[in-house]
């Protein structure tokens, strides 16, 4: 691993390839189809009655956690399948990673009204709202997990790959015995971040409405909104307390035991001075039922899968790591041609819809995109300034981690939208108050992506390397330059990409808020999307959403993807 040096080469851009163009064309077509379908949605939709009784809170909490759990299982399955194929097949990577860039760049909060209105045309209202909520949470959880898994599989040390080749491990055993364990620690931390970030979008989906169409869902988010609208302070306090209690219980009963378990997959020559502890994990490890289940069911079942998959995979198939044969190339060209035809048709239809916009509308969209870009950049810089030192401190000090990890988990899980009315009330009367409030909300919604990735990257640094730097007597500056920053670089890029995507998403609620019976807005692309949604101005909604997607995808491909390649090739643990 080389020392970290900043160079202008890091900022040198790469080109947009044909895969990006085709993916964008298809996406534009899908956006247009969704907008056209949503026009025919019912004019009036009535939401459920939300009880403010304290006894309803356990049931609402269970409903919210259930939606989160279903979305997380879908996200985990997507992560393992998508990230593995993209990391092991270079031909597939040329299409899959640009597609992932596009997917994580989509401002899903701007698509939520389109998705909901489209689903209500073909499905009953309650099913459409539940499905849209799960999709929204999935899109908030899947991308950073997939980036983390892809980065881990791509940076497996060469000596470990050589060992797997010497032991003649097939694709399945190499995945289960090497690549999945190597990525476990980062995947667990990003799962925690995904779950925490999912609360933000869960609350948004449970309280969503478009004009006279009420898409609310019974849950903690709807409970908090109803209590705040009714001015019931006691119910608001009870709802926040229930949310915090739910988060703490999940941290102690689920995530901390899993994190302690994942520590055994760290690559190091010597054990760390201290290891994370979990009373729940210790209790489960001594459980007779768990022991019998593992020895009598789980282990034999996994051995059967290993032998069956290994036997089926010995037919002489081409390894997945190779670039792919002529059949794969022909299939990709065929899919590309189909995508191009569909995309061109979509472009034609989009132009027909957008031609009614005036030149003033396009100028407003351009200036709004620039304003939001500046806010996103400011939020990212502020987040980097404090998450890197704190994350390194937590990742290197187990005692501090034991104290601060639950606090960070709770703080990250509290939806920023729940705090936004308080922030607006405090800052709105100050000069530039709503601009500051918008940046603050973006920061609250994105800083945790960076912090959790920094903690994961620091925790993954082998103890022997830490001991070596201590024996060499390196200064704090040299230790950061030669060990900490190079080790963190891949995790920082992963966190920064997902944090920026979260900031663009948060702009839709940060730049346009309803507070105290009035609407408060600041110029920005998120404000335009929110305004177009509320007024039913579908051409403006389509144009603003497309401008946002094109901006974010271009930045990702011309800046972040190059840094991702540098992290994969130069700053991998060897």
Please say if the pLDDT value at position 44 is more than 60: no
Q: For 93-114, write each residue's pLDDT tens digit.
A: 777 777 776 677 666 665 666 6
CA 203 and chain centroid, separation: 16
Q: Which residue has the tokens 């995309």?
A: 343
Q: For 504-555, write each residue's pLDDT tens digit.
A: 877 877 787 665 556 677 888 888 887 887 777 878 888 888 888 788 878 8
Greater confidence (366 vs 445) lies with 366
Q: Which two tokens stand for residue 390?
A: 């704190």
Residues 6 or more apart whose CB falls under 8 angstroms from that of 11 comprise: 559
Q: What is the pLDDT of residue 413?
A: 66
Question: How does the average pLDDT of the chain come out, rounded?
Answer: 75
Q: Which two tokens stand for residue 357?
A: 């916009």
Closest to 129 (Cα-Cα) out of 62, 54, 221 = 221
Element (H, E) at 521: strand 518-521
Band the pLDDT of 420: cuts 50, 70, 90: low
**Domain boundaries 59-265+279-305+356-569, CATH class:** mainly alpha
Q: What is the pLDDT of residue 29?
A: 66
Please say if the pLDDT value at position 563 is more than 50: yes
Residues 6 or more apart whose CB falls under 8 angstroms from that of 552 comprise: 105, 107, 500, 501, 504
- For residue 210, report the phi and psi dihedrals to the nearest 5 degrees: -125, 100
Contact 376, 507 (CB under 8 A): yes
Q: Give all strands (DSSP E) within 359-509, no chain letters.
A: none
Q: For 446-458, write each residue's pLDDT tens digit.
A: 788 888 888 878 8
Q: For 299-318, write each residue's pLDDT tens digit.
A: 778 777 777 776 655 444 44
Domain ranges of the chain: 59-265+279-305+356-569, 326-355
Output the furthest CA–CA distance in the chain (Å, rounded): 72
Q: What pTM value is reported for the model?
A: 0.69
| Stretch 205-231: mean pLDDT | 73
Q: For 8-27, write each residue's pLDDT tens digit.
A: 444 444 444 555 565 666 66
| Stretch 30-38: mean pLDDT | 58
Band the pLDDT of 486: cuts 50, 70, 90: confident
Contact 343, 24 (CB under 8 A): yes
Q: For 229-272, write each residue's pLDDT tens digit.
A: 777 878 888 888 888 888 888 888 888 888 888 777 776 555 55
Strand partners, 296: none
Q: Which two tokens stand for residue 514?
A: 């309803």
Q: What is the pLDDT of residue 381?
A: 92
Q: What is the pLDDT of residue 190?
A: 81
The per-residue DSSP string of 173-236 comes to: HHIIIIIHHHHHHHHHHHHHHHHHHHHHHHHHHHT-EETTEE---SSHHHHHHHHHHHT-HHHH
Residues 6 or more apart whose CB falls under 8 angstroms from that of 418 comprise: 203, 224, 240, 243
Q: What is the pLDDT of residue 26?
A: 63
């Amino acid at each position: 691993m080389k020392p970290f040096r900043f160079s202008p080469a890091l900022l040198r851009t790469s080109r947009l390839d044909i895969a990006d163009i085709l993916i964008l064309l298809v996406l534009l077509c899908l956006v247009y189809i969704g907008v056209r379908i949503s026009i025919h949605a019912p004019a009036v939709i009535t939401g459920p009655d939300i009880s403010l009784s304290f006894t309803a809170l356990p049931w609402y909490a269970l409903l919210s956690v259930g939606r989160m759990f279903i979305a997380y299982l879908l996200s985990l399955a997507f992560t393992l399948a998508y990230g593995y194929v993209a990391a092991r097949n270079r031909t597939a990577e040329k299409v899959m990673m640009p597609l992932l860039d596009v997917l994580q760049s989509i401002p899903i909060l701007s698509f939520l009204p389109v998705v909901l209105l489209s689903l209500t045309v073909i499905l009953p209202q309650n099913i459409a709202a539940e499905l849209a909520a799960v999709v929204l949470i999935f899109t908030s959880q899947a991308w950073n997990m997939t980036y983390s898994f892809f980065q881990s599989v791509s940076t497996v040390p060469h000596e470990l790959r050589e060992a797997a080749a010497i032991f003649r491990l097939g694709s399945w055993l190499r995945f289960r015995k090497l690549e999945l364990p190597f990525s476990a620690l980062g995947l667990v931390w990003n799962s925690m971040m995904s779950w925490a970030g999912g609360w933000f979008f869960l609350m948004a989906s449970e309280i969503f409405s478009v004009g006279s169409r009420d898409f609310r869902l019974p849950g903690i988010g709807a409970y908090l909104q109803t209590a705040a609208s009714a001015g019931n302070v006691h119910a608001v306090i009870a709802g926040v307390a229930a949310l915090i209690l739910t988060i703490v219980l999940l941290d102690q009963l689920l995530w901390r035991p899993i994190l302690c378990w994942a520590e055994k997959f760290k690559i190091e020559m010597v054990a760390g001075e201290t290891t994370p502890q979990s009373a729940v994990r210790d209790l489960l490890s001594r459980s007779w039922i768990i022991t019998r289940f593992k020895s009598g069911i789980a282990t034999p079942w996994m051995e059967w899968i290993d032998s069956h998959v290994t036997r089926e995979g010995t037919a002489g198939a081409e390894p997945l790591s190779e670039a792919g044969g002529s059949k794969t190339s022909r299939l990709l060209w065929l899919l590309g041609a189909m995508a191009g035809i569909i995309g061109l048709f979509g472009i034609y239809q989009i132009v027909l819809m957008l031609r009614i916009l005036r030149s003033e509308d396009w100028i407003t969209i351009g200036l709004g995109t620039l304003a939001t870009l500046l806010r996103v950049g400011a939020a990212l810089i502020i987040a980097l300034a404090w998450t890197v030192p704190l994350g390194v401190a937590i990742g290197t000090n187990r005692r501090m981690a034991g104290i601060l990890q639950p606090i960070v988990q709770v703080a990250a899980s509290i939806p920023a939208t729940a705090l936004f009315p308080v922030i607006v009330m405090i800052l709105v009367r100050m000069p530039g108050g709503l601009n500051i409030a918008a940046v603050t909300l973006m920061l609250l919604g994105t800083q945790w992506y960076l912090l959790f990735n920094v903690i994961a990257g620091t925790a993954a640094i082998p103890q022997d390397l830490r001991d070596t730097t201590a024996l060499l007597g390196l200064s704090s500056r040299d230790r950061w330059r030669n060990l900490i920053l190079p080790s963190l670089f891949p995790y920082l890029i992963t966190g920064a990409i997902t944090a920026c995507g979260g900031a663009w998403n948060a702009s839709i609620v940060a730049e346009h808020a309803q507070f105290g019976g009035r609407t408060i807005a600041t110029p920005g692309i998120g404000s335009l999307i929110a305004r177009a949604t509320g007024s039913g101005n579908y051409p403006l909604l389509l144009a603003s959403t497309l401008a946002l997607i094109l901006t974010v995808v271009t930045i990702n491909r011309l800046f972040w993807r190059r840094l991702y390649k540098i992290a994969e090739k130069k700053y991998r643990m060897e």
